[in-house]
Amino acid sequence: MCDPNNPNIQNRTTPQWSLHYSACNAGLSWTHLASRQAFYRHRIIPRTCVDTNQRDTATEIFGHRVDAPIGFAPIGINRIYHPAGELSVAKVAEELKLTYCLSSAGSYSIEEVGKANGDGPRFVQLYQSHDDDQAISMMQRALDNGFDVCMLMTDTWSLAWHHNDFFTGNYAFYHDHGAGDLGLKDPVFQQRLKEAGINEKQNPMEFGAKWIDKNIWYGRAHTWEKVKWTMAQWKRISGGRSFCIKCIQNVEDAKKCVELYEFDGILVTNHAGRQVDGAVASLDVLEKIADAIMFDSCVRSAADVFKALALGAKYVFISRLWVWALSISREHGVRHMLKSLLAEFDLLMEEAGYPFIDRIDGSAIDSLPQAANLIAEHSGI
């Protein structure tokens, strides 16, 4: 499924270029490869003769009680994988009592996704807008629609060098695929369009470029001071609700987050290898950051979730797994994939001798030394 050229997917309705978009990594995919190999380095140590007849995978995240330490990572433009896009995913998240995080590059509005998610716990992930009024508008809309945790993306000042996208001439945000509709429908952005004299129906590419190139990506790398400002605005708007930083990969940065800026949460991730090629594996960084409460990068199985928890994560987000499921069979595919992962995780806890997730710690795994060799054939896993 991770190979867009796989003949077994030719009959699916999802266009090949969108599968290229989901599968591509930065540069030569070395970061993605390192991230997968990091999971192979850690081995679970099963315990025997433990009473695992009664198991509990439930946990709490930012005041929300959820059925498992597994959530839906924020991924943009879901409509390119299936017309139902984010709506299907948000619906399944509520059904399964798992956390859903909406990307500000989403293809449905905050209001529509909030409604689809019902009473489910939901976060919003923001890209740092170049327009302060628009950033505030997005945060206010999120809060008004039940998104009570704000997560700021900090590794995407520009999109990375993606060979597959260049090869296919693919830049979804410039085309009429509902790309970025979450922000395009923002009232402040609509006002900016009027000021610039851009008609979204007559000039769709210019319309998309205005949102992505002039508002979200390209031309501006923000600093800690701007991040501090964004947190202050969210705290003011939300009455002090939780604010998190996404894409921490450096121990010193993690210390700043906790000790200097007092952010409520850290998400350790390298964007699944999609931003900086040749970077460290997020799992290797996770074990060095004691205060990391969330993890996301190249998770493919229940064993991966278990290992991340053992290395210090309190909560694990999954990403490409549910994108592939969405592309196959809308909400039915997402539901089936998540139920399978949850069942696998429950079975693993039984077989490994861990009835409760709070018993999963560093003693549950054996870690091999970090190695320099890379196995190319695993790069697409």
pLDDT in tens, 336-359: 999 999 999 999 999 999 999 999
Q: What is the pLDDT of residues 226-261, one digit of tens each?
A: 999 999 999 999 999 999 999 888 889 998 888 888
Cβ proximity of 146 and 140 under 8 Å:
no
Residue 106 has pLDDT above 70, yes or no: yes
- The reply to whether 271 sits in an annotated binding site is yes
- The reply to whether 174 sits in an annotated binding site is no
Report the predicted TM-score, pTM, of the whole model to 2 decimal places.
0.89
AA letter at 49? C
d(CA 295, CA 316) in angstroms, rounded, equals: 5
Task: Examine the residue annotation and report whether 222 is marked as an active-site residue of this protein.
Answer: no
Q: What confidence tier does 173 reach under pLDDT thresholds 50, 70, 90?
A: low
Domain boundaries, the chain: 7-378
User: Quick one: how far is CA 252 from the chain centroid?
Assistant: 22
Whole-number mean pLDDT of the chain?
Answer: 85
CATH 3.20.20.70 for the 7-378 domain, yes or no:
yes
E strands, the chain, in order: 42-44, 59-61, 64-66, 70-72, 100-103, 122-127, 147-153, 243-248, 265-268, 294-295, 315-318, 365-367
* Region of residue 72 (left: phi > 0; alpha: psi -120 to 50; beta: else): beta
Q: Which member of 163, 222, 271, 332 is catalytic?
A: 271
Q: Mean pLDDT across the stretch 51-55? A: 96
- The reply to whether 360 sits in an annotated binding site is no
Q: What confidence tier does 206 reach under pLDDT thresholds 50, 70, 90?
A: low
AA letter at 211? W
The counts of H helices and E strands in the chain are 14, 12
Residue 208 has pLDDT above 70, yes or no: no
- The reply to whether 103 sits in an annotated binding site is yes
